[in-house]
A and B are shown apart, each in its own frame.
Chain A
Amino acid sequence: MKSGSQLEKVLTGGHFAVTGECGPPRNANPDIVRQKAAHLRGMVDSVNVTDNQTAVVRMSSLAGCLILMQEGLEPNLQMVVRDRNRIAIQSDILGAYALGVRNMLCLSGDHQKFGDHPSSKNVFDLDSMQLIQTVKKMRDDGKFINDQEIEFPPKMFIGAAANPFADPAEFRAVRLGKKVAAGVDFVQTQCIYNLDRFEKFMQQVRDMGIDEKVYILGGVTPMKSVGMANYMKNLVPGMDVPEEVINRMKGVGKKDQAKEGIAIAVETIQRLKEMKGIAGVHVMAIEWEERVPEIVEMAGLLPRPQV
């Protein structure tokens, strides 16, 4: 075991993993995290806690992780390199481990131009690839970036993101391969709506043998409405929402759109379960955590394995 996290045990045990996501609130109220935790408890193996996603100020990911642990859930600390230099990054990794965090997701982070503080200065001392290298070096070599020894090293299960739908399309699998070379253990993909295109990506991944070296979790986000589908299609960079998905959402009455969105998510999970090289799903129900239980139930993912 690299970290001994629940997520690691599920994946190495050959089980189809399910991870969830929790966006901390834009305030200091811990109860909001606790409410989200209540919806996800027993439904997923580990819960990502986002790190100021879309560059909007929120309760810190590490604080969110700690609250989840107090609620009996296993967190996955998301960390972006946008807001921290290598000093702060390594310090936060030490602190997270000391508090009991065992999974990390290494990200570059949305540019602050999109967020609520566009006048801020960004950091980008490291990029996401170098963050992976850093966490691995701390864990496996017991050393900081500067090669100084860490007496009591943090042992994290290392995650990263992959977007199969960004450009250049033919480079996406190669870049995933780079993340594997950098030391990543598991990968969570961007939300998948175009399964045919995702299948092509996975074919390339398998041809390169990458799926043998890393656990790939397919990203699934249920859509609440046609409005959300159009927003994802047109305004979220690197997102591929095919016309037929939009039409399917449009094809049902307004009050049934949420149900249809969940049906699409469940079907996506079922296809992912059959896909070679896919080790699990990452269910990102954005501000919709209360619907996660029915999604995982309908997708036949319950009960979660006790490992």
Chain B
Amino acid sequence: MVVAERKPLNELLEMVQPYKKILVAGCKGCVTVCNAGGKKEVEILASELRIARKKEGQEPDVKEITLERQCDPEYMDQLTEVIKDRDAVLSIACSVGPQYIAGRFDDKVVFPGLNTTFIGGSLEHGVFAEFCQACGACGIHNFGGLCPIARCSKSLLNGPCGGSSKGKCEISKEVDCVWQLIYDRLNRLGQMDRLTRVIPCKDWTTSRDGGPRKTIREDLKL
């Protein structure tokens, strides 16, 4: 899933400070799963905004909505009514959400309430980690099913570098050396020969480096 985390309240208050009528818009997709932008988080953020406005002696005017998804044009319709009288929208979807709102509602000011952090998964309750960089040409089977592009600090395809120590990456003792994990796994799989092959330069055209990407599914187009 896309993992995101909420921006600090002070930053959000500063963003929406000039605007009176606010809409907080959540999303039932990935950000609900990672507890950053679902219905519950919309309620919490809206309450925080109201309290802050009251403290400043203002009458709060904050509405709430949580869309099925903010990354699909058809669900944008759910905003049409509620957005009409709003001065600004604070979207707590991943950054796709506020961009969709901006694209659809020309006259509305939109703010991102979250920092979209990575494509990843949860390790335990409340702990998320990065697993994919969306390079557009998956080859993790070459690495025991683990991705060195996303999970090695230097994205080395022929690791581990000289900074691998006791299973940890040189940048932090909190970061696993994915090449140690790859090594251990290939060892268990009896595929150590993979480690002796030199992996040549990667073609990054399928990655962001090739420019903004688009996928067209002819079989699904109407």
A127 touches B157 (CB 8 A): yes
A133 touches B163 (CB 8 A): no
A129 touches B164 (CB 8 A): no
Residues of chain B within 8 A of A124, CB atoms compared: 154-156
B176 shortest CB reach to chain A, Å: 12
The reply to whether the CB of A150 lies closer than 8 angstroms to some CB of chain B is no
Q: Which segment of B10-18, B39-47, B117-125, B197-205 sits at the interface?
A: B197-205
B170 touches A108 (CB 8 A): no
Q: How far is the CA of A22 from the CA of B157 in the complex (A)?
A: 30
Residues of chain B within 8 A of A108, CB atoms compared: 154, 156, 161
The 8 Å CB contact of A82, one of B154, B158, B197, is B154
Determine the residue in chain A with the shortest Cβ distance to B149: A124
The reply to whether the CB of A42 lies closer than 8 angstroms to some CB of chain B is no
A237 touches B201 (CB 8 A): no
Residues of chain B within 8 A of A86, CB atoms compared: 201
A133 touches B198 (CB 8 A): yes
Q: How far is the CA of A113 from the CA of B173 in the complex (A)?
A: 13
The reply to whether the CB of A252 lies closer than 8 angstroms to some CB of chain B is no
Given the known inter-chain contacts A111-B170, A133-B201, A238-B170, please indicate yes or no for A178 contacting B164, CB distance below 8 A.
no
Q: How far is the CA of A175 from the CA of B156 in the complex (A)?
A: 13
The reply to whether the CB of A221 lies closer than 8 angstroms to some CB of chain B is no
Q: How far is the CA of A168 from the CA of B177 in the complex (A)?
A: 10
Determine the residue in chain B with the shortest Cβ distance to A80: B154
Q: How far is the CA of A161 from the CA of B162 in the complex (A)?
A: 9
Residues of chain A within 8 A of B180, CB atoms compared: 167-168
A167 touches B158 (CB 8 A): no
The reply to whether the CB of B80 lies closer than 8 angstroms to some CB of chain A is no
A88 shortest CB reach to chain B, Å: 14
The reply to whether the CB of B191 lies closer than 8 angstroms to some CB of chain A is no
Listed in ascending order, the chain A residues whose CB lies under 8 Å from chain B are: 82, 86, 108-111, 113-114, 122, 124-130, 133-134, 145, 161-163, 166-168, 171, 174-175, 177-178, 181-182, 190, 237-238
A167 touches B171 (CB 8 A): no
Supply 10 further A-B pairs (C-beta < 8 A) apart from A111-B154, A111-B171, A168-B180: A86-B201, A108-B154, A111-B153, A113-B171, A124-B156, A130-B158, A167-B160, A178-B158, A181-B198, A238-B170
Which A-B residue pairs are the 9 nearest by beta carbons? Answer: A163-B162, A237-B170, A129-B158, A237-B163, A127-B156, A238-B162, A166-B162, A124-B155, A113-B171
The reply to whether the CB of B183 lies closer than 8 angstroms to some CB of chain A is yes
The 8 Å CB contact of B196, one of A125, A127, A174, is A174
B201 touches A182 (CB 8 A): no
The reply to whether the CB of B167 lies closer than 8 angstroms to some CB of chain A is yes
Residues of chain B within 8 A of A122, CB atoms compared: 154
Listed in ascending order, the chain B residues whose CB lies under 8 Å from chain A are: 153-167, 170-172, 177, 180, 183-184, 195-201, 204
Q: How far is the CA of A162 from the CA of B204 in the complex (A)?
A: 27
A177 shortest CB reach to chain B, Å: 7
B164 touches A127 (CB 8 A): no
Q: How far is the CA of A238 from the CA of B160 in the complex (A)?
A: 11
B196 touches A178 (CB 8 A): yes
Determine the residue in chain A with the shortest Cβ distance to B158: A129
A127 touches B170 (CB 8 A): no
Q: How far is the CA of A176 from the CA of B189 in the complex (A)?
A: 23
B71 shortest CB reach to chain A, Å: 26
Residues of chain B within 8 A of A162, CB atoms compared: 162
A172 shortest CB reach to chain B, Å: 9
Residues of chain A within 8 A of B171, CB atoms compared: 111, 113-114
Given the known inter-chain contacts A167-B164, A167-B166, please indicate yes or no for A130 contacting B157, CB distance below 8 A.
yes
A and B contact pairs by CB, cutoff 8 A, 9 listed: A108-B156, A110-B163, A113-B171, A125-B201, A128-B161, A166-B162, A168-B160, A168-B183, A190-B162
B167 touches A167 (CB 8 A): yes
Q: How far is the CA of A162 from the CA of B162 in the complex (A)?
A: 7
B137 shortest CB reach to chain A, Å: 15
B160 touches A166 (CB 8 A): yes
Q: How far is the CA of A145 from the CA of B202 in the complex (A)?
A: 11
Q: How far is the CA of A145 from the CA of B203 in the complex (A)?
A: 11
Q: How far is the CA of A128 from the CA of B166 in the complex (A)?
A: 22
Residue with the highest number of chain A CB atoms closer than 10 Å, among B161, B166, B196, B200 = B161
Q: How far is the CA of A182 from the CA of B199 in the complex (A)?
A: 10
B195 touches A171 (CB 8 A): yes
Residues of chain B within 8 A of A182, CB atoms compared: 198
The 8 Å CB contact of B165, one of A82, A161, A166, is A166
The 8 Å CB contact of B163, one of A126, A175, A238, is A238
Residue with the highest number of chain B CB atoms closer than 10 Å, among A86, A177, A237 = A237
Residues of chain A within 8 A of B201, CB atoms compared: 86, 125-126, 130, 133-134, 145
Residues of chain B within 8 A of A113, CB atoms compared: 153, 171-172
The 8 Å CB contact of B198, one of A109, A167, A178, is A178
B194 shortest CB reach to chain A, Å: 11
